């Protein structure tokens, strides 16, 4: 296969799957990982994709607002389920928590046992899932509906959050960068997530390893605002070391 043809197919794969790892591409095209990294570097310079930690992510959705919930639900689903299961282990009866509108937060809602708990959320999917559990009190922010993500944002949602204080928040985002911090494609979601972090005693970030090294459009907070990161086993030791140096606890999901 010619180099140009391989690079064209890489872009098509990244846009189809939204994120792809270097190791996967190396196997698909039967070339070394170093060759794939050079391809990704060239394609990023041509603004055809964005490199992330250990792979690449699509930039097609950047200019179209949020990715639809159905698409996000199937992207890296196994990692998200494992991360959600690990997150549930940190939740205790009587906790007052925030779950954002990420698909990982929805997996947390699915995994949560029916126990005394207060959950504040801007997610319709999370609210519906928790409505099946009698002991869990659910508070919805209300606000302006974003149909793509089935979530509420905007001034009303922000005012609603301002009325509360919780002991734990569980959030996800599109990009995690040592210098840029946490970021998201959607500015309204980024503003709301910042406020969720501000009203929480303990801030827990749930992201798969493909999000590291990525910078999305809207900054949420510096990475120092996070207390704990739950991620998958593909995160490299150097990144873990850098996070721990910033006093951020790293939990690796099984």
Any idea what the CATH number is for the domain that residue 12 is in?
1.10.10.10
The predicted model gives 123-139 an average pLDDT of 97
- How far apart CA 213 and CA 207 sit, in angstroms, is 12
- Same domain, yes or no: 80 and 160: yes
Domain count within the chain: 2
53 pLDDT band, cuts 50/70/90, is low
- Same domain, yes or no: 215 and 186: yes
- Same domain, yes or no: 26 and 132: no
Residue 62 pLDDT more than 50? no
Query: DSSP of 185-244, one letter per residue?
Result: S-HHHHHHHHHHHHTEEEEEEE--GGGBT---SEE---GGG-SEEEE-TTS-HHHHHHHH
- Same domain, yes or no: 103 and 57: no
Model confidence, pTM: 0.74
pLDDT tens-digit map of 72-120: 544 567 889 999 999 999 999 999 999 999 999 999 999 999 999 999 9
The predicted model gives 138-165 an average pLDDT of 93
- How far apart CA 141 and CA 158 sit, in angstroms, is 8
- Same domain, yes or no: 77 and 16: no
- Same domain, yes or no: 125 and 248: yes
- What domain range includes position 50? 3-61
Percent of the chain with pLDDT over 70: 93
- How far apart CA 34 and CA 209 sit, in angstroms, is 19
- Same domain, yes or no: 144 and 242: yes
- How far apart CA 245 and CA 50 sit, in angstroms, is 27
- Same domain, yes or no: 84 and 52: no
């Amino acid at each position: 296969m010619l180099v140009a043809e391989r690079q064209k197919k890489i872009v098509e794969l990244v846009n189809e799957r939204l994120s792809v790892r270097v190791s996967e591409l190396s196997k698909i095209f039967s070339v070394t990982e170093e060759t794939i990294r050079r391809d990704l570097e060239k394609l990023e310079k041509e603004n055809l994709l964005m490199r992330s930690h250990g792979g690449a992510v699509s930039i097609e959705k950047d200019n179209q607002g949020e990715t639809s919930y159905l698409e996000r639900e199937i992207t890296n689903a196994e990692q998200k389920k494992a991360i959600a299961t690990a997150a549930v282990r940190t939740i205790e009866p009587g906790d007052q928590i925030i779950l954002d509108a990420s698909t990982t937060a929805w997996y947390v809602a699915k995994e949560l046992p029916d126990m005394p708990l207060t959950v504040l959320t801007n997610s319709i999917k999370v609210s519906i899932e928790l409505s099946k559990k009698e002991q869990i009190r659910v508070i919805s922010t209300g606000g302006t509906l974003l149909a793509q993500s089935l979530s509420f944002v905007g001034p009303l949602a922000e005012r609603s959050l301002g009325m509360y204080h919780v002991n734990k928040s569980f959030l996800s985002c599109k990009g995690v960068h040592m210098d840029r911090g946490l970021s998201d494609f959607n500015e309204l979601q980024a503003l709301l997530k910042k406020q969720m972090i501000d009203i929480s005693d303990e801030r827990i970030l749930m992201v798969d390893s493909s999000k590291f090294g990525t910078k999305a459009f809207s900054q949420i907070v510096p990475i120092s605002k996070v207390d704990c990161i739950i991620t998958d086993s593909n995160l490299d030791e150097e990144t873990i070391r850098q996070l721990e140096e910033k006093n951020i606890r790293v939990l690796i999901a099984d």
